[in-house]
Structure 1
Amino acid sequence: MLRISSISAKKWPEKALDTLISALSFLVFAFLDLLDIVLCIFYRFFDYIMEGNSHTCYCYNRARVCDGGHEISETLYERKNIFRELGFLKLRGKGEDGEEKGALLAHRWSDCRCESCVSWQGKRDQGLHLIVMEPSKAMDEDCRGSSAENVIFLHGFLSSSSFWTETVFPNLSENAKLNYRLFAVDLLGFGRSPKPSDSKYRLNEHVEMIERSVLEPLRLASFHLVAHSMGCIIALALATKHLNSVKSITLIATPYFPSTKENASHTALNRLAQRRLWPPLLFGASIMACYEHLGRTVCFIICRNHKKWERMLKLLTLKRDLHFRIMDFTRHTHHSAWHSMHNVICGGAKMMDNYLQAVNRSRALVTLIQGDKDQVVPLECCCNVKLKVPLAEVKIISKADHKTIIIGREKDFTRDLEQIWSSAENHNPRNML
């Protein structure tokens, strides 16, 4: 009896703290709900003033979840907002019939217009920005690196190809430099890749752009895939379309929460962007994923003025070059980040079971790498994927979170990748096509 009381006494402070955080979270998010509605009205007015057209936003809870024959995520329209549920914004504005009146500008007034952010405009059929690391020495002098194997790297949300070129590329062994050709891609809407305002950044659009920019022009007959976070969903979708070409798939921090197909998008949003103040990463994710106009305001303040912020940080830190993660954080528009979050991470959740089943039947070697301290994509996600792909190899990194699973242990991570690529040659799964 004494022991039970002692245990209860230890848990009481934790329960009290959790209750306090929940109460504060309710109050803060109620305020944010109201603020987002106010910002909705603000942006409608200024969009009309600056662009001559008040473009449709997603504040109206419409049941339409299909656009142009391709599914988009229900979470774009059906995000929780207590004031909207009470009847605010019931009046329908211009263009609320499901299609916007007039084409979106190539760049919104609230987006950055610096040279690096608009350099892609005016170029027809431009592909994704791609960084290629060729084999350091030709294995066949008449055909440079013809025997080299191909590896495609896909980054996560609010990142770019720098995530790989600054971590993996410099740490390759001499043998890997000789035998592998590496491709680091800036996904559509991120880094130096195009950021079209008329795109909804659906999962299939990301996959098709990789095919058009990498697979088709370079005629890759076989390749390995390495992906982090959001990139894992795109990698699985790409692998499903090219099962006979994929040799290995390395998934780092895969966001996968099993659910029925009807609830999959909302399950992913609720798990990855819970309306809570703590931990801070969760709070930040909830603001950017749940509040369209708050997210746009953050991008307006930070991304639109990223050159100024970068100069200030360089002065404060006395550094000539900022860390690539700081630079990557601003290399997107609100439109590209918002739609990728919902249509890839949330909308893609509806297809994850199909993708994992297909990969499970393939010849590809599947490896799952997960940090046990990841607050963005929890450890359970790795377990969920393992249940769907029983033959997948699992590597849990102790005391690693969503970024330090790679950053801070670049050499070890690169050695792990090289071992995976080498093992793929002798991989012989039980379930063959």
Structure 2
Amino acid sequence: MFPSSLVGKWTTKSAATVISATSFIVFLIFDFLEVIFCIIYRYLDEFFEGKAYRCYCGDRGELQGSVGDDRESELSETLYGRNNVFRQMRFLGFARKWENRKKAFGGGGGITVWSDCGCESCVSWMKDGGGQNLHVVVKEPSTGDPTKTVFPNLSEPVKRNYRLFAVDLLGFGRSPKPKDCFYTLTDHLEMIEKSVIKPFELKSFHLVAHSMGCTISLALAAKYSNCVKSIVLTAPPYIPSSKEGASLTALEKLAGKRLWPPLIFGSSFMSWYEHLGRCVCLLVCRNHRIWEKILKLLTWRRDLHFMIMDLTRHTHHSAWHTMHNVICGGAKFLDENLDRLMKSGVKFCVIHGDCDNVVPLECSESIKSKVPNAEINIISNADHCSVIMGREKDFTRNLEHIWASFADTELFL
């Protein structure tokens, strides 16, 4: 008879080996399919658009000069640094030699790609000559609230005295989705400045962000450190690391190749496989109106939550580049931005669910180590989404408590 402890260790080790082997096989298949769909999309794009669009299956040198020297450092190493066994073997002899390729992504930003949705909602930003501003919902003080679905559960004093803004980021919701953009941190900041800060002449404001928005908000706050009073970071994807290799570290930590849990698998699939991710967007995003109708039938609801509606209203180009150039590429600027904000005395509040499988809890713990004065609120039994959705009233009360210590709050982002 073997001791029970040895049996337990053997069982655990065997299970880990099976999971590891299964994961290796599954992602090896994905590597193979990625190379195949790279070829397929090349010819589909040429058939529908007249030319093949640039992808990241080649060498980084192919992009040289496309962005400009001042923006080159903002591009994430993960765009070209995602290992693929078959691509590295130059599968079937297909070297990535694209004939006479242009340096920009597909030309003008006002033309949709065949695999993107062209419905009224998705292309509304192109019309009436005002399409190069973000979609912003504004709640002015001392007025009625026509946007209750965007600003629910706010107290009457806040509604009377505070000016609130909800912004669709560049490439998402009803905001512009140009295909000649790399969606870097600078691109996002410039659009927020152009659409919110400058036209509304904001001189003092607070920031509220969730997930990827935390990286953008930290960069915005660092740029306007004299204007920002507080910043609330909800499930911030903060990975402390040196600038060198920070992007690849963020990719491995936040979207490593894992089959479980499902949300991590989805993140890894969409982050590592450019062409397979485009297949998902072709199925889901291009047909979002059909999926919305199905959800309404299943839930017996006439209207869906705006967050659900906006989830699929992006293009693969915008989502792919924002994912890499903000979440991964922005990782190398996080420590610098936090240092600048600490010196300016900005108040930090971090909210995180203890069941978050997308952004691990250690990210918020790392911020606490970096910013000792940060207020950390760990929400029990909350994951990446339910840390806000399902507990909106509690979340709003937390925000109002922070804002109450200041008299000049202006921005909800």
Q: Tell me the equivalent position of 2:286.
A: 304
Correspondence 1:135 to 2:141: yes
Q: CA RMSD in A?
A: 2.2
- Pairing 1:383–2:381 present: no
Alignment counterpart, residue 193 of structure 2, candidates 187, 211, 214: 211
Residue 351 in structure 1 maps to residue 333 in structure 2: yes
Contact 2:124–2:131 under 8 Å retained in 1: no
Letter in structure 1 aligned against 2:68: G
Q: Secondary structure at the match of 1:289?
A: helix
Match of 1:242 in 2: 224
| Structure-to-structure mapping, 1:248-263, within 5 angstroms | 248-263=230-245
Structure 1 Cα separation of the partners of residues 214 and 230 of structure 2 = 13
Aligned-partner residue type, residue 88 of structure 2: E
- The separation in 2 between residues aligned to 1:336 and 1:95, in whole angstroms, is 24
1:116 maps to what in 2?
Answer: 121
Residue 37 (structure 2) aligns with: 39
Kept in 2, the 8 Å contact 1:21–1:278? The answer is no
Which gives a bigger RCO, structure 1 or 2 (Cα 8 Å, sep 6+)? 2
TM-score (normalizing by structure 2):
0.90
Q: CA distance change for structure 1 residues 400 and 55 in 2, over 3 Å: closer, same or farther?
A: same
Corresponding residue number in structure 2 for 1:68: 68
- Residue 312 of structure 1 and its aligned partner are, at CA, apart by 2.7
Counterpart in the other structure of 2:85 = 82
Partner secondary structure for residue 399 of structure 1 = coil
CA shift, 1:374, in A, is 0.5
SS at match of 2:199: helix
- Given that 1:128 and 1:193 are in contact with CA atoms closer than 8 Å, whether structure 2 keeps it comes out as yes
Matching of residues 182-221 of structure 1 within 5 Å: 182-221=164-203
Give the SS at the match of 1:276. coil
Code of the aligned partner of 2:89: L
The correspondence of residues 360-375 of structure 1 with structure 2, limited to 5 A, is: 360-375=342-357
* Structure 2 CA distance for aligned equivalents of residues 102 and 419 of structure 1: 48
The question of whether the paired residues in 1 share the 8 Å contact of 2:105 and 2:179 is answered with: no
How far apart are 1:94 and its partner, in Å? 2.8
Matched residue count = 397
Shift of 1:408: 1.2
Please, which moves more after superposition, 114-123 or 6-15?
Answer: 6-15
**Which of residues 292, 306, 310 is equivalent to 1:328?**
310
After TM superposition, the structure 1 stretch with the greater mean CA deviation from structure 2, 216-225 or 100-109, is: 100-109
Match of 2:272 among 290, 295, 313: 290
1:336 match: secondary structure: helix
After TM superposition, give the deviation of residue 18 of structure 1 in Å. 2.7
Q: Distance in 2 between matches of 1:341 and 1:352?
A: 15
8 A Cα contact 1:232 1:251, kept in partner: yes
Structure 1 residues 127 and 100, CA, compared in 2 at 3 Å: closer, same or farther? closer
| 1:337 shift after superposition | 0.2
C-alpha deviations, 1:367-399, integer Å up to 9, x for none?
A: 111111110110100011112211111111111
- Deviations 1:321-370, CA, capped at 9 Å, x for gaps: 23434312211000100000001111000101101111111121111111
**Same amino acid, percent of matched pairs:** 57
- TM-score, with structure 1 as normaliser: 0.86
Q: Unpaired segments of 5 or more residues in structure 1?
A: 139-161, 427-433
Q: Deviations over 1:35-62 (max 9, x none)?
A: 1111111110011111111111111132
Q: Please identify runs of 4+ aligned residues in structure 1 that moved more than 4 A.
A: 5-12, 63-66, 95-105
CA displacement 1:215-258 (0-9 Å, x = unmatched): 10000110000000000000000001101100111001110111
Change (3 A) 1:101 1:255: closer
User: Structure 1 pair 92/104, CA: closer, same or farther in 2 (3 Å)?
Assistant: farther
Report if the CA contact (8 A) 2:109-2:178 is conserved.
no
Q: How far 1:95 moved relative to its partner?
A: 4.8
Aligned-partner residue type, residue 187 of structure 1: L
Residue identity matched to 1:78 = G
Of the structure 1 ranges 247-256 and 313-322, higher mean CA displacement relative to structure 2 is found in 313-322
Question: 2:173 touches 2:311 (CA, 8 Å); kept in 1?
Answer: no
- Cα distance in 1 for partners of 2:360, 2:341 equals 22
2:99 to 76, 94, 97: 94
79-88 or 283-292, larger mean C-alpha shift: 79-88
Return the offset for 1:9: 4.4
Aligned amino acid, residue 21 of structure 2: A
Question: Residue 170 of structure 1: CA displacement?
Answer: 1.4
Q: Following TM superposition, by how much is the alpha carbon of 1:315 offset from its aligned partner in structure 2, in angstroms?
A: 2.9
Cα deviation 1:177-234 (Å, max 9, x = unaligned): 2221110000000000011111110111101110111110000110000000000000
